[in-house]
């Protein structure tokens, strides 16, 4: 163990003693900014630094006085679930002038603040960098004017800056997601779901305007997530003659039986000539061309409002802690950096490289070099756009390959899709995407009802393009799903594969789906029928599948947990001090409890993966009791359902009730199946859509490779895979190779990435803990040329 300690780098060695950190939010507000402020304050205090709020952004820095106030641990209590920014934000003209920056520098030096954490958009971050570059000059001026002495100038000679991007538009290059984007998508999708029901009733077309003056991310992803008929974004203006194409597509979808159309327009949408396309232009077009009853809805500032989603709270909390670490490690030679997320990995990037790239996008758009603009936006944006294009184009029947056409290989294969395990929100989005991409690729798609049980009973039928319309927003599993495993029914399943001539399988589901694909691939020796490409896509609220950091449905469940915890906490407002004991789902996997705890601001989280005994429980109770003696009124304790067979939820509730007598009272809640239900979150719709599209493209490649002498034969390891998200990429992994990484008794992976988020939660709940920072972001550079895709 000691040996491992040496190779790891623990941040106990990073002390903030004697340092002062200023934290400000600037520019347009975004949900999740408060979570970032809270994390910076608590992490800063934790490492021994002083932390100051700078109220009203740069304006507060220029005005000084009460606008710069020291923060305490309690001062950020219960702000995690609040939207907007509690410390205020303003757009500040004065800071753009030299005089303004001189005043700001004076006010910072008075308090020895030489570390700034700026949460805002690219304008705010560029301003911060300029401030840093001028710093030594500003100090000289202050000395000359007699406002500060030489000693003060000496002590504050270096200014360090770390940025976090808070912007709902997701318009900052170098980061996959900015703080607030996911919450804005939640608002948009809530509205679209609501509009769909009224549009359905009246057979209407709705044209929606979403925010994004220079960036089409919100429009693009919400179009993907709700299955919109058409989307208009600034980075990729439609081809000339798009008006006719759009109207043709709308009327085709109506003739196939759809009762509504949704068109999403980014507020900055333009045509190829750079002329603005407004929602009213689109409405007039539809009315004059098709005569459809058409309505316009402009979402406006609704998108900025409301509580932050679970994703934004976790993102902002992770970034806030990372920002403090980056400030502690900064030196005169390190450039100002932004902390951001790439895939599932925290990274640090030089601030000006990101700003430069963000400006290059605008330049490319001004020069009408739209392909370049899309490329500069980054891989996440590009993937979304490519998936949208794949799904939006339905080939006419005349264009589909004909039986008689002489093709180098039979491109019309039969591909079956099934759901296995417990239902998870987002499964239907994945099935819809698979069916449509499959049809576009020229395959015949078959739907299997009720998992492997329906498979052996022969509940298999062809599924067409129109059959999956409107599926993205539906919770649960429309195909039906069962936990039945295939091993006992191999004869009958093989027979069904023969009858329907199935050439490939896509299995979407949880741990049973993983076991099922393993059983089928193991049976290849005995049955030729199973020698077909098969791929599994993880979909389970528990997020307990080896080979993938995330699974479809987990984000929706996390949001259900955080929403409920918010309500439960609020239910106690006005009462005396109270602690809630909450039980979450997940089987033996502590993902929902741990990450939900981080998003809801829990004081303790009990999980199976981190064994605990009575002494731990005792110290948690004492810790809460101490906390309650300060101004904090409420405590939150989460327990995973299978964390310990003897320390049950009732036991923990009774223990806390007894030990907390006279200080706080207790209540308990078992969240139960509400974590599995509900409409899928934007993240799960989008993740399901993209991952299933990728799985079908893989199936097409494997079918092409394994088609010999008129039939498909695939029996190698790499033709029975699990498609998972690993750190920064989507990877196909042979299920056989995942065997060693799995604890089959407890149905969890042996190593789980999110365990490293647990110390974060403890720090934010005021526990002393060891936090391994060897995994924290090292400074990287923004990559422009991306490596070729690996299969």
- Residues with active-site annotation: 169
Q: Return d(Cα 669, Cα 673) in angstroms, integer.
A: 12
Q: Cα separations (Å) of 277 from 244, 271, 349, 388, 778?
A: 15, 7, 35, 20, 42
Cβ-Cβ contacts under 8 Å for 166 (sequence gap 6 or more):
25, 27, 29, 30, 32, 33, 36, 85, 119, 120, 121, 178, 179, 180, 316
State the maximum Cα–Cα separation within the chain, in Å, rounded to a whole number: 91
Q: Are the C-beta atoms of residues 59 and 90 closer than 8 Å to each other?
A: yes
CB 458 within 8 A of CB 491: no
Spatial distance between the Cα atoms of 685 and 559, rounded to a whole number of angstroms: 14
660 vs 490, 577, 579, 620, 621, CA distance in Å? 56, 10, 9, 11, 7
Token code pair at residue 172? 């900052």
DSSP alpha helix (H) spans, 145-170? 150-155
DSSP assignment, residue 402?
A: P
Q: What is the dihedral of CA 324, 330, 334, 337, to 10 degrees?
A: 10
Q: Cα–chain-centroid distance for residue 356?
A: 25
> Could you tell me the two tokens for 47?
């490492």
Residue 439: both structure tokens together: 């049809």
Nearest by Cα to 339 from 350, 348, 330: 348
Q: Are 281 and 232 in contact (CB under 8 A)?
A: no
Return phi, psi of residue 186, to 5°.
Answer: -60, -45
How far apart are the C-alpha atoms of 665 and 634, rounded to whole Å? 10
Pairing label, strands 160-165, 115-120: parallel
- Strand-pairing partners, residue 408, are none
Q: What's phi and psi for 745, nearest 5 deg?
A: -70, -45
**Ranges of H-type helices in 367-465:** 370-377, 379-392, 427-440, 451-457
DSSP secondary structure code for residue 26 in this structure: -
- Phi, psi (degrees; rounded to nearest 5) at 566: -60, -45
Contact 406, 661 (CB under 8 A): no
For Cα atoms 231, 235, 241, give the angle at the middle one, nearest 5 degrees.
60
- Both tokens assigned to 289: 């061309």
Integer CA distances (angstroms), 515 to 59, 520, 608, 693, 721, in order: 58, 9, 22, 22, 12
**CA dist., res. 657 & res. 664, Å (int):** 8
Which stretches of 615-714 are assigned E, i.e. beta strand?
Answer: 634-640, 665-670, 707-708, 711-712
Q: With helix as H, strand as E and coil as C, how does 466-522 read?
A: HHHCCCCCCCCCCCCEECCCCHHHHHHHHHHHHHCCCCEEEEEECHHHHHHHHHHHH
Q: How far apart are CA 190 and CA 682, in angstroms?
A: 9
Distances 308 to 168, 252, 268 between C-alpha atoms, Å: 11, 38, 25
Tokens of 276: 């603005």
Q: In this structure, what token pair is assigned to residue 506?
A: 């896509």
d(CA 161, CA 229): 44
Measure the CA–CA gap between 601 and 761, rounded to whole angstroms: 8
């Amino acid at each position: 163990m000691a040996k491992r300690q040496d190779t790891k780098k623990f941040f106990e060695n990073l002390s903030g003693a004697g340092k002062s950190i200023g934290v400000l939010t600037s520019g347009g507000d975004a949900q999740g900014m408060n979570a970032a402020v809270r994390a910076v304050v608590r992490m800063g205090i934790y490492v021994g630094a002083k932390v100051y709020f700078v109220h009203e952004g740069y304006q507060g820095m220029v005005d000084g006085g009460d606008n710069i106030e020291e923060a305490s641990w309690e001062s950020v209590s219960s702000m995690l679930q609040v939207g907007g920014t509690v410390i205020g934000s303003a757009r500040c003209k004065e800071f753009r002038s030299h005089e303004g920056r001189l005043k700001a520098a004076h006010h910072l030096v008075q308090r020895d603040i030489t570390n700034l954490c700026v949460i805002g958009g690219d304008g705010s971050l560029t301003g911060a960098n300029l401030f840093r570059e001028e710093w030594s000059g500003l100090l000289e001026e202050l000395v000359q004017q007699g406002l500060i002495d030489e000693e003060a100038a000496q002590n504050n000679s270096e200014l360090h800056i770390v940025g976090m991007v808070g912007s709902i538009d997701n318009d900052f290059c170098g980061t996959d997601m900015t703080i607030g984007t996911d919450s804005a998508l939640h608002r948009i999708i809530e509205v679209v779901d609501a509009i769909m029901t009224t549009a359905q009733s009246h057979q209407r077309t709705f044209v929606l305007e979403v925010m994004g003056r220079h960036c089409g991310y919100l429009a693009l992803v919400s179009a993907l997530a709700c299955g919109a008929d058409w989307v208009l974004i600034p980075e990729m203006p439609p081809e000339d003659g798009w008006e006719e194409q759009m109207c043709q597509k709308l009327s085709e979808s109506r003739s196939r039986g759809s009762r509504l159309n949704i068109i999403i327009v980014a507020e900055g949408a333009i045509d190829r000539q750079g002329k603005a396309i407004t929602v009213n232009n689109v409405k007039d077009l539809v009315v004059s061309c098709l005569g459809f009853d058409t309505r316009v809805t402009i979402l406006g500032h609704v998108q900025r409002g409301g509580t932050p989603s679970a994703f934004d709270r976790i993102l902002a909390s992770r970034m806030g802690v990372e920002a403090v670490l980056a400030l502690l490690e900064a030196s005169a030679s390190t450039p100002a950096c932004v902390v951001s997320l790439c895939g599932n990995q925290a990274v640090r990037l030089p601030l000006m490289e990101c700003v430069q790239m963000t400006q290059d996008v605008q330049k490319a758009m001004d020069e009408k070099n739209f392909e370049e603009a899309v490329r500069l936006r980054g891989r996440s944006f590009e993937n979304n756009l490519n998936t949208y294009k794949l799904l939006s184009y339905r080939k006419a029947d005349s264009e589909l390959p004909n039986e008689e056409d002489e093709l180098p290989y039979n491109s019309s294969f039969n591909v079956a899709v099934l759901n296995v395990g417990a239902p998870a929100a987002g499964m239907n989005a994945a099935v819809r995407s698979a069916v449509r991409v499959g049809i576009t690729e020229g395959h015949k798609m078959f739907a299997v009802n009720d998992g492997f049980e329906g498979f052996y009973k022969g509940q298999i039928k062809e599924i067409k393009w129109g059959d999956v319309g409107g599926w993205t927003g539906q919770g649960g599993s429309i195909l039906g799903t069962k936990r039945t495993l295939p091993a006992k029914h191999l004869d009958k399943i093989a027979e069904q594969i023969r009858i329907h001539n199935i050439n490939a399988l896509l299995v979407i589901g949880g741990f049973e789906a993983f076991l099922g694909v393993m059983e089928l691939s193991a049976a290849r020796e005995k049955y030729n029928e199973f020698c077909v490409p098969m791929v599994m896509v993880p979909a389970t609220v528990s997020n307990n599948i080896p080979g993938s950091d995330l699974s479809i449905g987990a984000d929706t469940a996390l949001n259900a947990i955080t929403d409920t915890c918010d309500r439960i906490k609020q239910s106690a407002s006005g009462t005396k001090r109270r602690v809630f004991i909450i039980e979450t789902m997940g089987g033996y996997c502590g993902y929902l409890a741990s990450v939900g705890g981080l998003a809801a601001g829990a004081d303790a989280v009990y999980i199976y993966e981190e064994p605990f005994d009575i002494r731990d429980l005792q110290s948690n109770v004492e810790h809460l009791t101490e906390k309650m003696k300060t101004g904090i009124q409420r405590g939150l304790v989460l327990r995973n359902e299978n964390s310990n067979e003897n320390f049950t939820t009732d036991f923990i509730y009774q223990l806390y009730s007894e030990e907390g007598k006279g200080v706080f009272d207790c209540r308990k809640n078992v969240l139960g199946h509400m974590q599995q239900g509900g409409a899928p979150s934007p993240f799960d719709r989008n993740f399901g859509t993209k991952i299933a599209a990728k799985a079908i493209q893989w199936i097409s490649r494997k079918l092409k490779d394994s088609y010999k002498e008129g039939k498909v034969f695939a029996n190698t390891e790499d033709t029975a895979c699990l498609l998972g998200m690993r750190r920064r990429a989507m990877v196909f992994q042979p299920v056989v190779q995942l065997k060693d990484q799995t604890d089959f008794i407890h149905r969890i992976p042996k190593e789980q990435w999110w365990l490293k988020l647990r110390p974060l939660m403890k720090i934010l709940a005021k526990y002393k803990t060891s936090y391994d920072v060897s995994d924290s972001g090292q400074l990287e550079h923004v990559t422009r040329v991306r490596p070729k895709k690996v299969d």
